[in-house]
Structure 1
Amino acid sequence: MRILHFISSPAAGGAETYVRDLSILMRRKGHDVHIVFLQTAAESGRDPEFEKDFLSSLASASISYSFIGKEARRKPWLGGLRLRRFVRAFNADVVHCHLYYALLFSFFVFGVPVIYTHHNIRLGLPRIFYKIFDIKVSAYVAICAACKELLGSRRRSVLQINNAVSKSRILLKQKKSTNTNSEVTCVFVGSLCAQKNLTMMLRAFGLAHSSNVRLLVVGEGPDRGLLKELASSLGIDHRVEFLGNRSNINEILAESEIFLMSSAWEGLPIALIEATLAGLPVIVTNVGGCAEVVHQCANGFVVDSLEAGDYASALSKMVGDAELRASFSRNGLAFASVYEIERSVGRHLELYEEVISDGFSRV
């Protein structure tokens, strides 16, 4: 098959990493893959060095790519015309959209089935738009049970295919001393933005009163300055390190003991899956598909509220019990195979073949 994916930009986001992993394995299975990006890292205000590495990994896998351009956000007809040109040039058998801008542009594409994956627990647009999208979309993909419920009943089928990660990128967590006085390294990986609710995490970290704990914050985003100021005002800046974007996340996870996520809303975070496959015990808030991972893998705590005190209690318990952490780690390694990329790729390829062979809506 000739598969065209459409995502936002070659940046350090979960959806982008997931689509890259999907595309690389699809290519290894003999399919031709082209990725269309809405905009460049520079146009997104993201890290150009990360973009360089991202595009290099695609080129190494013989995956072609192209860019629509940021101006298409204001001129959707321009985006539609450019997407139609890319689809024709690539001679795509299926177009897989991973953001709603792509769906809008897909109305300019004819004779090719369109798949849409929703990557968040928030729709991003009023529901009336999704009734319009039903006209064009051959099938919807939900990345977790919570997202499937969000999409609700549609004219087209909604198939749950869990987010997944290429295990080849994962390094297993290193075994650390069980001495109660040993330093415990916690890590967060993701965008420094309101969605990730890092202000609550930092406040919880301050409330935990554990002098032998440090926190590594990996990622970029608009809240970096605010968060550094908050860490200083809480008196924990000597225990919190902001690392920015890093290309060696697998090594950072392997050297850490606890993965933290305090999101206010989510889909099914790729960083959480990476940490789970690496064997890290986790603490997550009960949003989107985060709890689904913990319930599947029995590898950590789910905090049902967004209160710093509740999160701090879970953190203190995890930090203070090395045997509990070891048990959670073993569970994650034993039960996380459902989140490996091979399974996800297989289900996607079956879906593509189905919509191609069964016919599809032409608008």
Structure 2
Amino acid sequence: MIEIDSAEAQGSSVRGEIAIRSGGGDDNGPVPPLSILHVLAPAPFGGLETVVRALAAGHARRGHTVHVATVISPRSDKHPFVAALEAHGVRALAVVVNPRDYRGERAAVRELFQRLRPDVVHTHGFRTDVVVGGVARSERIPLVSTCHGFIEGGWRSRFYQWLQRRALRRFDAVVAVSSSVEKKLRDAGIDRTKLHLVRNSFARTDQAVSRDDARRILGLPAVPVIGWVGRLSAEKGADLALDAFSRVRTDGVYLAMVGEGRDASRLRDRAAGLGIDERVVWTGAVPEVGRLLSAFDVFFLSSRSEGTPMALLEAMAAKVPIVATRVGGVPDVVDETFAWLVDSEDVAGMALALDEVFAQPERARASAEAARIRLAERFGPDQWLSTYEDLYRAVTRDKILS
């Protein structure tokens, strides 16, 4: 089954009413707006999805024509990511295909490309990098990918990464969201002239929720709570979070595990085996969870691998003390001034850091305030949006010249 919910295609874009603010103009007049098409196979919630939503909404506010094509399987209800886009003023174009119907997916996106004729196609994630990239090239549309990170795992994950990196060599530009992702792409043979380091940004676009209301929404008890947010899978280190929590010595503390994933059942069994199941709250996936992080006394990131985690930026915005593993793009964002950093897999170190947050409240408050200031100074959206605009214009110009 193939269905493109075009919503009259051109009419489904979002247009801003203010002048274009890209730095890529000249002295001959205003810079013309761009037509930008993002393509991804979204999860219901996640950091990648948050980044795409922020890019699309931000560039639409600057006056560009922005579409987001979502490659999704048939379903009876609205996909949560599509609902989130629409809540932020961005109408999605649904490319509905059965799982693994890659031929149908290529045909559907080719029809979409021919109808919209965007100035640039921007893909996100393994599937669209591999499946959609070739279609954009054959239509001679400039092609950009943002590599949000790699899921480390067994042979299947390694094979998918090989396919993705092979495809990315033929893109006009590849964006890495952290220095560690940039190094992996460089080592994989991506042309350095096409590789760009653009760290994620964050700005509150929805209304933050008070601590009491956030706790009520998440169903948390009136006790100190360590908050963990992410996909319940090996690369996010949910098992490490449980192991570390079982070693925390501070009395009366609970752990909130916010998210869903393939390892949920196994992790619940692990919590029971550790004897901590009565002090672990499993919330499942929560829409717009970033606005609820004020519910936590500590934000805990225990990942084995990361790009630049959006949940970390959201915790900084919420002014919550942070304990995080020193992986991926985390050290690009915070150091020991702004968070407690520990090595991945160091469960004892994680537990010690969590105990220190509760034992040193003044230091915890100071680090959280410093992190909030750093977020505003270093990871605001304006320069981020302009960097992407300039990149889009560069690949568009290069394609015309070639």
Q: TM-score range by the shorter chain?
A: 0.7 to 0.9
Give the drift of 1:242.
0.8
SS in 2 for 1:38: strand
Q: Taking structure 2 as the reference length, what is the TM-score of the superposition?
A: 0.79
Which of residues 51, 62, 73 is equivalent to 1:29? 62
Does residue 69 in structure 1 map to residue 97 in structure 2?
A: yes
On the 8 A contact 1:185/1:214 being kept in 2, the answer is yes
Partner of residue 97 from structure 1, selected from 123, 128, 147: 123
- CA 1:54 to 1:154, structure 2 compared with 1: closer, same or farther past 3 Å? same
2:204 to 161, 167, 171: 167
Report deviation, 1:251. Answer: 4.4
Q: 8 Å contact 1:117–1:141 — kept in the other structure?
A: yes
Output the CA distance in 1 between the equivalents of 2:267 and 2:238: 7
Q: CA deviation at 1:207?
A: 0.5
Structure 1 residue 20: Cα displacement = 0.8
Kindly provide the CA deviation profile for residues 332-359 of structure 1, in whole angstroms up to 9, marking residues without a partner as x. 1111122233332111111101111232
Tell me which residue corresponds to 1:111: 140
RMSD over aligned Cα atoms: 2.7
Q: Which runs of 5+ in 2 are unaligned?
A: 1-33, 213-221
After superposition, the C-alpha distances for 1:215-237 in whole angstroms (9 at most, x for unaligned) are 11111112222222222222222
Which residue identity does 1:330 align to in structure 2?
Answer: E
**Aligned to 1:275, which of 315, 322, 325?**
315
How far the C-alpha of 1:100 sits from its partner, in A, is 2.7
| Structure 1 portions without partners, runs of 5+ | 176-181
The within-5 A match list for 1:1-363 is 1-9=34-42, 11-40=44-73, 42=75, 50-51=80-81, 53-57=83-87, 61-71=89-99, 73=100, 75-104=101-130, 105-109=132-136, 110-122=139-151, 125=160, 127=162, 130-135=165-170, 137-152=171-186, 154-155=190-191, 156-169=193-206, 171=208, 183-247=223-287, 249-295=289-335, 298-337=337-376, 338-359=378-399
State the shift of 1:241 in Å. 0.7
Between the aligned partners of 1:271 and 1:246, the Cα distance in structure 2 is 13
What is the count of residue pairs matched by the alignment? 347
Higher relative contact order (CA 8 A, sep 6+): 1
Structure 1, 220-229 or 119-128: larger mean CA deviation: 119-128
The amino acid across from 1:82 in the alignment is: A
The change in CA–CA distance for 1:249 and 1:108 in structure 2 (over 3 A counts) is: closer
The equivalent of 2:14 in structure 1 is none
1:275-307 deviations in Å (ceiling 9; x for gaps): 112211211112211222222x83211111403
Structure 1's consecutive aligned runs of 4 or more residues displaced over 6 angstroms after TM superposition are none
8 A Cα contact 1:142 1:159, kept in partner = yes
Does the aligned pair in 2 maintain the 1:170–1:250 contact within 8 Å?
A: no
Alpha-carbon deviation of 1:22?
1.1
Partners of 1:225 and 1:49 in 2: CA distance:
24
